[in-house]
Amino acid sequence: MERTPVAEDRLVEPAIKGEESALEHALRPNNLSEFIGQHRVRAQIDVLLTAARHRKTPADHILLSGPPGLGKTTLALILASEMSAPIRITSGPAITHAGDLAAILSSLVEGEILFLDEIHRLPRPAEELLYLAMEDFRVDVIVGKGPGATAIPLQLPHFTLVGATTRSGLLTSPLRDRFGFTAHLDFYSDEELEQVISRSAALLKISISPDAISEISRRSRGTPRIANRLLRRVRDYGQVQGASQIDLSGARTALEIYEVDEMGLDRLDRGVLTALVERFNGGPVGLSTLAIAVGEEIETVESVAEPFLVRNGFMARTPRGRVATALGYSHIGRTPPAQIASLFDTPAIDA
Ligand code: ADP
């Protein structure tokens, strides 16, 4: 998915934005014990790493799946540090030819971790090359062209592939089957996000009250990346105000200025809900009509606003179009109509 200009501007955008990676780097937990939440995944990875260390072999290939901003890259870096192994980072879209991947694979050292972000976007010929590399630690280098081409097998060092994907459903089964372990990351609870924010505030030397921390966590859409970003914006506001500590009212005012409301909706989300309720009587309405009503690209509404609104029950997808739920109505200060339940009689299309 190409990132749209709207997504670049949004404070609640879950994907990483332009110059954010250096800022994020400073806030990344360095080992498994510092990694907050995701208890099941953490416990599973702990067993996997301990066993690999015992055997003195590289860990099995690992697939990390889940929405952006939940800690997939962070976990890959932690795996490397826990295994005292070097790590090479690349992504599906960065590999345009199978040859690019062959070059990376053949330059790995024994035990190295290869982190392949957005693995679902790997071109098919590169993916096919990966099958053999994952299974037999081998690539066949094709020399020459046409009928005279020959495949020369090249042995690779034992490495661990850590694949990350936001769309595990798009992964082919031959690729998925070659991972020894798949971890699915879930959205974080408010309490876990409070821990993320407290930790980041301490690292950034920001003095902030516990109720301001909970306020930020509630508006962070279950996503550590957004929590850290909102914390930085609230800190800016505190600095401009000359406050020695950020308190609840400071945090609320700052987030109001940035138009992130008390449930984490921003201007685009509220615009979509308002159009749905006020211009289309709560729906059902087609996505393209809705997008025109808010003056946005269909793609933006579909990939940026809709997933959050549907997941959190503000809006639903039905075979006849998008409909506002009772929560959607009340969130924008409107009373839901009595017949709203009948809109859901038809089964919703899977998001
Ligand atoms: P993804 O690769 O899934 O998009 P990242 O690993 O880049 O997400 O995480 C985004 C940011 O969120 C990182 O800078 C990191 O500081 C923070 N973060 C993510 N998960 C956690 C966690 N479990 N504990 C603390 N911070 C986290």
- The b/e string for 94-132 (b: 16+ C-beta within 10 A; e otherwise) is ebeebeebbebbeebeebbbbbbbbbbbbbeebbebbeb
pLDDT at 1: 45
Q: In CATH, what is the architecture of 190-257?
A: Orthogonal Bundle (1.10)
Domain ranges of the chain: 38-184, 190-257, 267-345
**Fold agreement between 190-257 and 267-345:** no
Known catalytic membership, residue 205: no
Structural contact between residues 234 and 218, judged by C-beta atoms closer than 8 angstroms: no
Question: Helices 190-203 and 210-218 meet at what angle, rounded to 10?
Answer: 120
> Could you report the per-residue pLDDT of 58-106, keeping only the tens digit for each?
999 999 999 889 999 999 999 999 999 999 999 999 999 998 999 999 9
> Could you report the per-residue pLDDT of 242-296, keeping only the tens digit for each?
989 999 999 999 999 999 999 999 999 999 999 999 999 998 999 999 999 999 9
> Could you report the per-residue pLDDT of 6-15, keeping only the tens digit for each?
666 788 888 8
pLDDT at 42: 95
Q: Is there an atom of ligand 1 within 6 Å of 323 CB? A: no
Rounded distance from Cα 69 to ligand 1 centre (Å): 6
Q: Is there an atom of ligand 1 within 6 Å of 238 CB? A: no
Q: Which of 72, 178, 270, 317 is catalytic?
A: 72
Query: 38-184 adopts what CATH topology?
Result: Rossmann fold (3.40.50)
Q: Whose CA is closest to 66, among 166, 164, 163?
A: 166
Q: How many CA atoms lie within 13 A of 248 on its CB side?
A: 6
Q: In CATH, what is the architecture of 267-345?
A: Orthogonal Bundle (1.10)
**Can you list the pairs that 251-255 forms with residues at least 24 positions away whose Cβ atoms lie under 8 Å?**
251/208, 251/212, 251/215, 251/216, 252/215, 255/215, 255/216, 255/219, 255/230
Which atom of ligand 1 is closest in space to residue 75's alpha carbon? 6
Q: Is there an atom of ligand 1 within 6 Å of 274 CB? A: no
**198 phi, psi to nearest 5 deg:** -60, -45
Q: Is there an atom of ligand 1 within 6 Å of 229 CB? A: no
pTM of the model: 0.88
- The mean pLDDT value for 31-55 works out to 94
